[in-house]
Amino acid sequence: MKRSRCGAWCLMLASGSALATSSGHTGELLFGLFWVVLAAALMGTVASRFGIPAVVGQVVAGLLIGPSVLKLVRPEEFFLTLAEIGAIFLLFMVGLETRLGELLRVGREALLVAVLGIALPLVLGFGFGFWQGQANVSALFVGTALVATSVGITAKVLQELGVLNDPFAQVILGAAVIDDILGLTLLAVVSGLGAGQDTTAAQVGLTLGLSVGFVALVLTVGIPLVRRGQARLQELSLSRAFNVALVVGLGLAALSTVAGLAPIIRAFLAGMVLAEVKDEVAFESTVHAIEAFLAPVFFVVVGLQVNLGALTQLPVVIAGLVLTVLAVAGKLLGGLLGARSLGRREATLVGLGMVPRGEVGLIVASLGLGAGLIGEPVYAEVLLMVLLTTVLAPLALRALLRRERLVQQAP
């Protein structure tokens, strides 16, 4: 505890000392980073003090320093990219704590949760848009935004509470990987429809096949390869070992570009592959330090992107609240039905874990607005839904886990 406090202390002083007189815009960006780090440290600590997950405090911190309230920092490309690197290290870290065997043991549940957690929100979102009188494509886009899952938010909360290796957490992680594959395919199809292109079943099948094949390949070929390679790598000279890493890294890179998976899911897979050898090689603390620096940046930037300026009209706010209820209901029901076999309490946890829409929901909404497929009011409704699910789900998750632990300790 003492250590992490001083890490943040230092980071703040280092960033503070980096404030800008230097070359123009770079200086402004460093200044912005100072605010982001400061806000993350401050709000994260305040949240933890009140028994709220630090993640929630950091998303709210982003909302506060962003364009909606204090206008200190704009969500520029630099911050978006740095945030993505933060998410990558976070998921890489989570992957390091995951063993394939344990994940496969709950494979059936994960698949069910993922499929139901896509189908139910899609139908609910489309129905809502249809009922609102939106065009078909617009209603489809609302449905797609409801499908998004931000595994980063949930993963961090589970990591904070130290329950990443519980069966329900494994179901969430497995379902997130499947969700990502199916969700991105859906997004491609809907975007294609919006652009007036008909996507053939063959194309959809190809995209799906590539993604699934890639994941299967990494897990079935990558893990044995790393296991076998490790023994040889330790004998190899430094530069030779790097050449091997180069080939592995480039190969993985080329393959995953073709497969079209989200970077954070690939980072999760890479972490999982390396988890097999992590006990022999001490790289965990290095990755952890970088994650401790950049993951809070990711959460703040999620908040930063939510510009609540459009939420001035009561009908939009009410529609956004209804959408939020549907978003929660869809994923919760998906979890309850899909993970039924784990028992009701665990299934509820799974459902809650799938609720946060986070940065994925924001990306879908921005794509739709940018392509002219949804209008400003619908965009604002989706934004409110993303913010509420991202902030409320971790609160509920933590509260439920606390209560469960008390019940377990009682007898």
Stretch that binds its own copies, among 28-36, 111-119, 328-336, 343-351 (CB under 8 A): 28-36
Angle at CA 318, nearest 5°, toward 183 and 362?
30
Q: Cβ 39 to its own copies, closest distance in Å?
A: 10
CA separation for the pair 145, 389 (Å, rounded): 12
Q: Cβ 390 to its own copies, closest distance in Å?
A: 18
Q: Binding to its own copies by residue 219, rule CB under 8 A?
A: no
Q: Cβ 198 to its own copies, closest distance in Å?
A: 22
Return the closest-CA partner of residue 95 out of 35, 32, 169.
169
Instruction: Tell me 106's DSSP state.
Output: T
Q: Is 311 helix (H, G, I), strand (E, B) or coil?
A: coil
Alpha helices in 195-313 (DSSP H): 201-217, 223-235, 238-259, 263-275, 284-304
Count CB neighbours of 241 within 10 A: 15
Q: Which of residues 80-109 bind its own copies (CB under 8 A)?
A: 80-82, 84-85, 88-89, 92
Question: What token pair was written down for 230?
Answer: 């490790």
Question: What token pair was written down for 269?
Answer: 């897979």
CB of 69 or CB of 247, closer to its own copies: 247
Cβ(287)–Cβ(93) under 8 Å? yes
Q: Which of residues 261-300 bind its own copies (CB under 8 A)?
A: 261-263, 266-267, 269-271, 273-274, 281-283, 285-290, 292-293
Q: Binding to its own copies by residue 252, rule CB under 8 A?
A: yes
Q: Give every CB contact of residue 365 below 8 A, 6+ residues apart in sequence.
A: 145, 374, 379, 382, 383, 386
Q: Binding to its own copies by residue 235, rule CB under 8 A?
A: no
CA separation for the pair 157, 173 (Å, rounded): 13
Q: Cβ 312 to its own copies, closest distance in Å?
A: 28
Residue 253 identity: A
* Gyration radius of the chain over CA positions: 21
| Near its own copies by CB under 8 A: residue from 20, 72, 219, 333 | 20
Q: Binding to its own copies by residue 34, rule CB under 8 A?
A: yes
CB of 5 or CB of 344, closer to its own copies: 5
Q: Binding to its own copies by residue 260, rule CB under 8 A?
A: yes
Work out whether the CA dihedral 283, 273, 113, 130 comes out positive or negative.
Answer: positive
CB of 293 or CB of 379, closer to its own copies: 293
Angle at CA 211, nearest 5°, toward 210 and 217?
85
Q: Which of residues 127-156 bind its own copies (CB under 8 A)?
A: none
CB of 359 or CB of 381, closer to its own copies: 359
Q: Which of residues 352-381 bind its own copies (CB under 8 A)?
A: 363
Q: Binding to its own copies by residue 13, rule CB under 8 A?
A: yes
Output phi, psi for 72, to 5 deg.
-80, -35
Q: Cβ 82 to its own copies, closest distance in Å?
A: 8
Cβ(389)–Cβ(338) under 8 Å? no
Q: Binding to its own copies by residue 314, rule CB under 8 A?
A: no
CB of 257 or CB of 313, closer to its own copies: 257
Site mask, its own copies, residues 39-68, x = CB under 8 A? --xx--xx-xx-------------------
Q: How many residues lie near its own copies (CB under 8 A)?
A: 86
Q: Cβ 24 to its own copies, closest distance in Å?
A: 10
